[in-house]
Structure 1
């Protein structure tokens, strides 16, 4: 049954219904070595982190799903995001799930400068902004921010630089 599930979920490529929009996240499909740091908002300390980021087309090529696979101290954790293009809104709807940390975020993604901007809310209702920038065939940068004052100011909470593995 697992093979049937994977076969139905994973798509060979993007849908042909909206090829221009599918290119926004198509650049990220593949496997990535990701290295960065995350702010512990309680202590104010930055913590280094590394993970493998795997991105594939799913749902008949109408969506892109990623897995963030982290292995620390012989412990493995997985988080995932599903990005579905919504032709009615002209934007991508993003749902992020990290069961281990209890973080569940919803965002809307659009093209922005040299990358992709994702705006939404995290589990506690605070506004978040996640940006991919400097996307090339082999690298990207990702930064995350949170606002504690309804978007008037932003605190930088995450920085990741990634290199393509395949």
Structure 2
């Protein structure tokens, strides 16, 4: 289990955010942020705080490894709501891609959520979030973060 060892430390983060998370034609907004992550429990837990200076809010992610299932839960909260959102759950494939899924709501609609972690090296990583409203037949990628080591 190496999990989120790569994300330990300080990172610069370039964000691309879809204006409407369910409308691929709604246009993208781009902005920068930075994050600092820390490993706990010999790597079985990772906590980071991300700061979005131009947006006026921060996010906090708690990632926990469950030895019984071999899966991670990823739990997100942001300073605007102060609420822990429903987790996504999954694991890293043999090729190093992390795939995590969960259920949530957006604009009053039930959505299936997918997080993908890819392109992981010592100095780079990519995260993307996608929503599906049709039972995972189609996905709308609505937030992409490109990480570079600070």
Indicate the TM-score class for this superposition, using the shorter chain for normalisation. Answer: 0.7 to 0.9
Please say if 1:143 is aligned against 2:125.
no
Higher relative contact order, structure no. (Cα contacts within 8 Å, ≥ 6 residues apart): 2
Alignment RMSD (CA, Å)? 2.1
Larger Rg computed on CA atoms: 1
Please say if 1:105 is aligned against 2:83.
no
CA distances 1:66-101 after superposition (whole Å, capped 9, x unpaired): 1111101xx631111111111111111221112415
CA distances 1:23-47 after superposition (whole Å, capped 9, x unpaired): 1210111110010211011771211
Runs of 4+ in 1 over 2 A off after TM superposition: 58-62, 112-115, 121-125
1:1-166 matches, cutoff 5 A: 21=1, 23-41=2-20, 44-58=26-40, 61-72=43-54, 76-100=56-80, 104-112=85-93, 113-124=95-106, 125-165=110-150
Q: Is the 8 A contact 2:10 2:37 kept in 1?
A: yes
Cα deviation, residue 56, structure 1: 0.6
CA distances 1:119-142 after superposition (whole Å, capped 9, x unpaired): 112344411111110100000111
Alpha-carbon distance between aligned partners in 1 of 2:128 and 2:75, rounded to the nearest angstrom = 17
Alpha-carbon distance between aligned partners in 1 of 2:119 and 2:5, rounded to the nearest angstrom = 15
Question: How many aligned positions are there?
Answer: 142
The structure where helix makes up a greater share of residues is: 1
- When normalised by structure 2's length, the TM-score is 0.84
Q: Please, which runs of 5 or more residues in structure 1 have no aligned partner?
A: 1-20
- When normalised by structure 1's length, the TM-score is 0.77
Q: Is the 8 A contact 2:3 2:43 kept in 1?
A: no
Q: Is the 8 A contact 1:104 1:123 kept in 2?
A: no
